[in-house]
Amino acid sequence: MKRLEHAVESIILASRWLLVVFYLGLAVALGIYALSFVKKLYEFVMKVMVLDDTDTILKVLGLIDAALVASLVVMVIISGYENFVSRFDNHDGEVHWLGTIDISSLKIKVASTIVAISSIHLLQVFLNAQQYTSDQLMWLTIIHLAFVLSALLLAYIDRLTGLSKGDKKAAGEDGPSL
């Protein structure tokens, strides 16, 4: 029975390596997205002389939005690999910061990035408000507020969890209070 248990545990632990397929796929998608970014940048540079201020701001916001999405993908790839698959080898101090992103902080960073992306998209919409109906503007705003509220609740829950862990740790070190 102990052998069966050990075999099952070994299979379950080895299954984490299947995640590498997803992280490599995200890396390929990031490369494709980088090509899309270069295309957007090229089009922006070619049209910069004929764009008015609003169009220039919209194009720059689109580039910022793309950079945030790319950063989000990199955070998920690196943190996911580091937390679920294997630790990165230290390449002469080049990656010393990798171990600092745990799952809890990753969730907050992802939620914050989504809110930032949503904010940029909403700003782009409002700069082109004449192209949208009042109902569309209302729903886009409500959706954005839902992202903001979700991120705030996630941060609050994370804070409560952190405080709870701190209380348990302090009680364990100092002994139970009478």
Structure tokens at 58: 């919209």
Q: Are residues 87 and 43 in the same domain?
A: yes
pLDDT at site 135: 93
With bands split at pLDDT 50, 70 and 90, how would you rate the model's confidence at 32?
Answer: very high
- Count of structural domains, the chain: 2
Q: Residue 84 has what DSSP assignment?
A: I
Q: Are residues 126 and 79 in the same domain?
A: no
Q: Which domain holds residue 49?
A: 1-100
pLDDT at site 177: 45
CA 13 to the chain's CA centroid: 25
Domain boundary among 44, 75, 100: 100
Q: Are residues 120 and 167 in the same domain?
A: yes
Domain boundary among 100, 123, 141: 100
Is there a domain that residue 66 lies in?
yes
With bands split at pLDDT 50, 70 and 90, how would you rate the model's confidence at 90?
Answer: low
Q: Where are the alpha helices (DSSP H) in 97-178?
A: 103-127, 134-174
Burial class (CB in 10 A: 0-12, 13-18, 19+), 103: exposed
Structure tokens at 101: 């992103």
Sign of CA dihedral 154, 160, 164, 169: positive
Per-residue exposure over 117-152, b if at least 16 CB sit within 10 Å of its own CB, e if not: bbbbbbeebeeeeeeeeeeeeeebeeebeebeeebe
* Contacts by 117-123, CB closer than 8 A, 24 or more apart: 117/65, 117/68, 117/69, 117/72, 118/143, 118/144, 118/147, 118/148, 119/144, 120/61, 120/64, 120/65, 120/68, 121/65, 123/61
Q: Are residues 90 and 108 in the same domain?
A: no
Q: Are residues 81 and 9 in the same domain?
A: yes
Domain boundary among 51, 79, 100: 100
Q: Are residues 46 and 87 in the same domain?
A: yes
For the chain, the average pLDDT equals 84
Alpha-carbon span 96 to 109, nearest angstrom: 19
Q: Are residues 95 and 107 in the same domain?
A: no
Q: Are residues 90 and 111 in the same domain?
A: no
Q: Are residues 95 and 110 in the same domain?
A: no
- pTM confidence score: 0.70
Residue type present at position 132: Y
pLDDT at site 158: 83
Is there a domain that residue 134 lies in?
yes
Q: Are residues 18 and 56 in the same domain?
A: yes
Q: Are residues 42 and 110 in the same domain?
A: no
